[in-house]
Amino acid sequence: MPGKNLSREEAQQRAAILSVDSYRVHLDVTSAVDPAAATFSSTTTIAFRSSAPGASTFVDLLAPAVRSVTLNGHALDPAAVFDGVRITLAGLAEQNLLVVEADCAYSRTGEGMHRFVDPVDGETYLYTHYEPADARRVFATFEQPDLKAPFGFTVTAPAAWDVYNNAVHEDVTAEGDTRVWQFAATRPISTYLTAVVAGPYHVERDHYRRELADGSTLEIPLAATCRRSLAPYFDADEIFTVTKQGLDYFHQEFDFPYPFGKYDQCFVPEYNIGAMENPGCVTFREDFVFRSKVTEASYEGRANVILHEMAHMWFGDLVTMKWWDDLWLKESFADFMGSFSQIEATKYQSAWITFANRRKAWAYRQDQFPTTHPITADIRDLEDAKLNFDGITYAKGASVLKQLVAYVGRDAFFEGVRQYFKRHAYGNTVLGDLLGALEQTSGRDLTAWSESWLQTAGVNSLTPQITTDAEGRITEFAVVQDGATARPHRIAIGCYDRDTVGGLVRTHRVELDVHGTRTVVPELAGLPRPALVLLNDDDLTYCKVRFDGHSLETLRSGLGEIADGLARALAWSAVWNLTRDGLMPARDYLALVLRFAGQESDIGVLQSLHQQVKAALDVYADPAWRSEGARLLADCALRELRAAAPGSDHQLAWARFLAQTAREQEQFQLLRGLLAGTARIDGLDVDQDLRWLFWLALASSGEAGTEELDAELAADNTASGRQNLTECLAALPTAEAKAAAWSAVIDSDELPNALVEAQITGFNQPGQRELTAGYAERYFALLEDIWSERSIEIAMRIVGGFFPRYQISEQTLAAAEAWLAEHSSAAPALRRLVLECHDDLARALRAQSCDRS
């Protein structure tokens, strides 16, 4: 394989002849405090065996320089065996000892050893992130998940720093102005799960204790860290509360004691993802340290992520997929268990509503791309793996697991999981290993279920087909299933009618299995036709829900009156899917939001509606009507902001939405007045994060300039402040601002990942189509260079972020099609990204046609 990639076949060949006994890794990061220092010292000692003495293999390493390579006591010439990506090892013995001394690079992309300097106090912070294959940026490694081994780390760091690792530290020795941290060996884990976090982090500590069934006591030290400048905002007590609730729950259900000793949770800067399940040393994006007021949905979301990562300690860390084909064995389960445990163990009781409205929307979108794939995907190489951390692997997989629990029964599901952990602890598995355990405990043959749900791509639509007699009673009720493959669905059908006060409440519920393209439901025959029929009530399966005409008219006049929060969220999800599919005009969806969003009690659903209706306006609405729709949305945001309860989450959500939709001078003047303190809305605290949202609204509309933005930075010269300033400057509606943002990302690779994201987001404003139209041709011309020259993380951001998504025209669609046709040999992962962007564009054109008609 060329470049930095690694194929599945190569990994299989290597695993067939190798087993790894241990790693010892010594990192010297004392140079990190010197901004001019680009590298750190890394020494790796690997003890491994070969079942084929005399064979050759390779060890992975991405490093600027290798100083020495010693195999079984023999020095190898680095210039001869290291090509910048791999070290070739020839003439293996049965027992082998490899020592590699290298200079590895500090990262600004969030891959490998990321270095960050806090603008508040000048302190330097380090952390690692590897998934799927960036441990090789920090130490020499057999970079594949099925070559597990114990890891022992030694880290030399500045004396004022603390260092965190997967294991407890056994010794800390002072040596002049440094300290040497010696960590215990871990249990066998995969390379991508190792972690080092180092710097002057603020730390809070707690302790978890549990009496186990065998009479022993489990003790788990807990720690939570963040940068010192964020310490005043760090609500560690709430984090520890959720952590303990999760540990209680998973011990109860999994019956396998937490296997990794301590439990550190480190909140780190410029993190590329939400969090990473490094055993004993979980890393989170520091956006979860809330420095300004956030809604309850944000706390619920953080709790979900904490529990998601904790579930990984068993699903993924204790038992790990053999190769990335079976990524679902960890991510689908963690996504499911995050919501499942949240409902059963914490105060956050809206998890399934959030899942139905947010997570599944992600899955539905991904599953309708031409690049859709089964939950158990065909992962040919590492680039494929990187792109498959997607809505199918996470949210569709979790949806399918929710249905599986209903199918085999909760008790049988968890008993199968317990047996799976005990049978495969510290090992690697494939699809059949888990299904086999579940078949044993449930007594069900899961072969057909697996073929339909795990091994087949695509989403089905379920539509009610109802006939009635002259008195309005149902004579036949059927569920019609559309889709490339008809699947078995366990669903509930809810019948809703008005109660005495006008609310829509469920009057009948039928639960059944849907098979084939048409399933008759005799239980509903003879009932009066209800005002609303909701298929997949209670959200038992994964499907797109359609409505009969009568039900759709009920929703137009009464969606907000559905009394049950989950049912209402499902209705919102269904009408959004109709809009995306070009079956409901965008202006009709907007009308539903205008009429009923103010009544929505669930704050998470409300914030989803804000995101979706803005997308409907910007992408799916007829351009000739867009201005009118924008006026209606902005007026709605201002009206609901003034009407919201003072100090409420809803008030904050509407204030944020006003910042996204403001377009009239009256609205801009209110934002300016709130910033200056000359205007007031009772209960609304215009804190720092809200200030930046207001400034972004003013900047992107040409209502604020660089001097005012620089003055705001002076008052908030933090990492967050600098990211916000960067986005605001890139969002200014001038040709100069667009050119500067484009150049900052394309013409240099010096920007850190967080500022790359800020530049791209500011550049691509939906209301500035004329300013960015000229960049489309340049975008397509540079794609292959970007993919070959940048790290995959940054390349993905550029390819997806700079795609001319708001140039919604046949011309742009043709340009994307031409690039795909002319670059058939481009990297498959790059082609997948462009193809998905092309598909989004084609969908937008279809939706706009629907809105015009």
Task: Provide the annotated active-site residues.
Answer: 309
Tell me the DSSP string of 230-250. GGGG--HHHHHHHHHHHHHHH
CA–CA dist 477, 492 (Å, integer): 14
User: In Å, what is the CA distance from 776 to each residue of 619, 742, 770, 812, 823?
Assistant: 17, 12, 11, 8, 17
Peptide bond into 132 cis (omega under 30): yes
Torsion region of 673: left, alpha or beta (phi above 0 gives left; psi -120 to 50 gives alpha)? alpha
Tokens of 498: 């008005």
Burial of 178: CB neighbours in 10 Å, binned 0-12, 13-18, 19+: middle
User: In Å, what is the CA distance from 543 to each residue of 217, 403, 546?
Assistant: 45, 11, 10
Burial of 331: CB neighbours in 10 Å, binned 0-12, 13-18, 19+: buried
Nearest to 559 by CA among 591, 529, 524, 583: 591
Give 128's strand partners: 113
Buried b (16+ CB within 10 A) or exposed e, 192-218: bbbbbbbbbbbbbebebebeeeeeeee
Nearest to 268 by CA among 284, 280, 289: 284
Cβ count near 549 (within 10 Å): 8
Tokens of 624: 């000739």
User: In Å, what is the CA distance from 215 to each residue of 134, 251, 350?
Assistant: 41, 14, 36
Looking at residue 502, the DSSP 8-state letter turns out to be S
For residue 63, the number of C-alpha atoms closer than 13 Å in the C-beta half-sphere is 29
CA–CA dist 833, 792 (Å, integer): 12
CA–CA dist 841, 837 (Å, integer): 6
Instruction: Give the contacts of 241 (CB within 8 A, at least 6 positions apart).
Output: none
What SS3 class is residue 317? coil
Nearest to 188 by CA among 130, 220, 224, 142: 142
CA–CA dist 360, 331 (Å, integer): 14
Tell me the DSSP string of 387-431. HTSSTIIIIIHHHHHHHHHHHH-HHHHHHHHHHHHHHHTTSEE-H
DSSP H helices in 701-752: 706-715, 719-731, 735-746
Burial of 760: CB neighbours in 10 Å, binned 0-12, 13-18, 19+: buried
Instruction: Give the contacts of 725 (CB within 8 A, at least 6 positions apart).
Output: 709, 710, 712, 713
